[in-house]
Structure 1
Amino acid sequence: MSLAPRWSPRHRVERGSVTVEFALILIPFLVLLFGMVQFSIWFFSAQSGSSAAREAARRSAVGDLSCAQLAVNATGNAELVQGGVTVSRTYYDGSYATVSDSTPTKGAGQVAVGDNVRVLVRYRTMDLHFPFIPIPSAGGVRAQIVESATVRVESVTANTVPC
């Protein structure tokens, strides 16, 4: 009696099925894997953008940064940036509970302690350009990060100007 496997015609038909099944599983697996990598990059960049906006707003609240220093500070705190970082600082009356784009702003020399300062940080993050993998966008721009922070003005100095 031989211990060698017996091959029947049925086994010949199934040859190569493992390769086909592997190919069918590999494509969705790679899309899922690369999607997680791309989203992780975007999420890390969004968190660093939020941190950059909060730090710039805190420093603006005490009149610590000029407009040029504000841009350098926010750029240094933002991670995985492609292109430049755009930073804006706007002052609002402290009587507004929430601040939006339609809230009236204050100009230079009108800011007082108790008003609000809003810092907006905007930049594009690293995009790996994987096909079929969506990435969050802001304002219709793929892979754009837009973060803002609003704090109460604690000190008015010569640096307390919108930019």
Structure 2
Amino acid sequence: MPEHKLLLGTEDAWSSVDGKKLWSRPGGSPFVHGAIVVANQWDPKTRTNTLLGLDPRTGTERWRHKGLFSRHSPQRGQTMRPDAPLIAKVNGDGAKLVRIDPGTGRTGPVLTLPEKHLLETYCVGDLVFAVCADRGVDPKGGTPPDKRRWYALESAQFGEA
């Protein structure tokens, strides 16, 4: 959004040009992906996540996917390349990933990895890196899993979104 150079907080968007608050939307860890803002919305009652695609100018919802979560983002403060794949975790057991077309919200087929837990995803160019483990992070002490495995997948393996 060139006229404002959008700054994102945990729920709010501001203009870095004049500091004006542009919109507010409950959700977690929003990031810019090409021409859209992607945000996670957690419902503690149902313990489910909904992935949202938001208009960067208004915060208006363009699409939503219940049961998907995205940790896939660049380093803080950077914008995803418009052609970078948007990969989301499918909530539930196992390491399941799906590709989403950021502009339309269409999803491709689910890709299942042979691991129990998916910790993170990263994209570099046309490669998707998935960090998987034998278990999740211990919620009490924050102890990381014992065994981790990295997968490097070509975005073409996810099919068309």
Q: Which has the higher contact order (CA 8 A, sep 6+)?
A: 1
Choose 1 or 2 for highest CA Rg: 1
User: Which one has the bigger strand percentage?
Assistant: 2
User: Which one has the bigger helix percentage?
Assistant: 1
TM-score, structure 2 as length reference:
0.24
TM-score, structure 1 as length reference:
0.23
